[in-house]
A and B are shown apart, each in its own frame.
Chain A
Amino acid sequence: MSDTQWPRFEVFVQERPGRPHLHAGSVHAPDPEMALLNARDVFVRRPECASLWVAPSATVRGGTAEELPQLLAAARTEPGTSSIEYLVFAKVEERGTLTHVGEVHAAGPETALAAAQAAAGATRPLLALWVIPAERVERTLPEEAPSMFDPSRHKPFRDQAFYHIQTALRRLRRDPSAIGHRQSVESKR
């Protein structure tokens, strides 16, 4: 049996309810459930997160503005095939990232891309476009949110604001006699 680092899953984070899911990176995991759990531990060490999605990297179709024309040229209708839902992610700002913009129904990924391009690219140029079959996206359920995401709020020591260094150094500069005396520098809880 070969040794692998397991397949990759793309990770999408929704920071607050009502905001779109944003592509945050990927995790390696053996299966979708582990991918969801790993994504939570890798990407939600700090607030905020209201919802998490993962999808196998292998199910992602699409590319950058440079690649799209070639990908779309391959679009064709498969006769008699039923259409399924695809989630659409688009990057529209240089400093942004792939953002969930909606869904399309299509018989295949290339057709989905064409439909997504038409819908999402109607009013502004797309820098990158992804479509992913909705059934392959694993999502956290609303009732899971407290145990998945609240614990990150209970760890204020991961926030730089927890450490009052500037104050402590200023105090020492004003009164260096503190060096040599036992004094607590811990921030108040």
Chain B
Amino acid sequence: MTDDERLAAFEARIARGEKIEPGDWMPPEYRRQLIRMISQHAHSEIVGMLPEGGWITMAPSLRRKLVLVAKVQDEGGHGQYLYHAAETLGITREEMIEALHSGKAKYSSIFNYPARSWADIGVIGWFVDGAAILNQTMLARSSYGPYARAMVRISAEESFHNKQGIEIVLALVQGRPAQRAMAQDAVNRWWWPTLMMFGPHDSESPNTPALVRWGIKTRSNDELRQEFVNQTVPQAEAMRLTLPDPDLRFDESTGNWRFGEIDWGEFWRVVGGDGPCNRERLQARRAAHEDGLWVRQAMAAYAARA
């Protein structure tokens, strides 16, 4: 079979809804895109443990504390499932970690923002996990078997992340004035970064065409972003929280909430490594890795002698 014939057969498999499994022939570009996408997704989960993990020690009730530990633990677990999926494509976890720590690999820029107050924990669950769920639901239909299966598992677990966040915000808006103000302040800071999570307009996204062609990306960035806005605005209204967008208005003809233009300058700055916490996040991950070196080596040494 020539490469052209192989490619045609591969694309026919995807068109038939077949899952590509580890070991199947795949175009080098498919493998490359998936490794990039999956490892980036994994890194996002791991780095995502940091802004929320920092508030575990200050969670203001037993219930909140338990739930937050469970949530951050889940994020670690999701990173684990995703590293596994990437490993099936031939990259090792050592390589992926090295790429993250050296700054070569990207991760979702939303985690480069600081969690400044307890209310941020609620809003992160509400906004960021609300957004993630939409993305994950799409990816669960991915043509690559291990990625799809990881996403199915993740999607089942993610729903509580969103709900525990809303539960926190509900308690704050029905509480004292200082609590309500804390919630509003967090909303003001997290709204636009969350909209940026969905990525640039598809016309400006270099990776999109290949991902669409090969059954990885089945919905556009803008489509997902619009769905997120539509689902979140009514929730904010019910809680009497203002979203920081003077241009937000309901369009009767489409049923969509129209919203203002995103500051793409900020987006590209943060993606490029110049966000408020980029350095801090990587430093924390590097420190954990370095501090753990003697542990990994000791366990390996014991196993080698057994």
Contact = CB atoms under 8 A, between A and B. Distances in A.
Contacts, number: 130
A63 B145 CA distance: 13
Interface centre among B23, B87, B301 (most CB of A within 10 A): B23
Interface string B63-102: 1001100100110010011001001000011100100000
B72 to A, nearest CB: 12
A85 to B, nearest CB: 23
A181 B179 CA distance: 12
A75 to B, nearest CB: 17
A123 interface: no
B103 interface: no
Main secondary structure of the interface of B (DSSP, over half): helix
A165 B163 CA distance: 6
Contacts of A155: 70
A147 interface: no
Interface in A9-36: 24-28, 30-31, 34
A98 to B, nearest CB: 9
Interface residues of B, number: 54
Given A162-B160, A172-B238, A157 B149 contact: no
Interface stretch (A89-97, A110-118, A138-146): A89-97
A30 B77 contact: no
A135 to B, nearest CB: 16
A127 B157 contact: no
Nearest to B168: A185
A182 B174 contact: yes
B19 A160 contact: no
B74 A169 contact: no
A94 B77 CA distance: 25
B180 A179 contact: yes
A176 B23 CA distance: 57
A4 interface: yes
A94 B18 CA distance: 6
Closest 9 A/B residue pairs (Cβ):
A163-B163, A160-B159, A30-B299, A30-B303, A31-B303, A63-B23, A160-B160, A5-B93, A64-B23
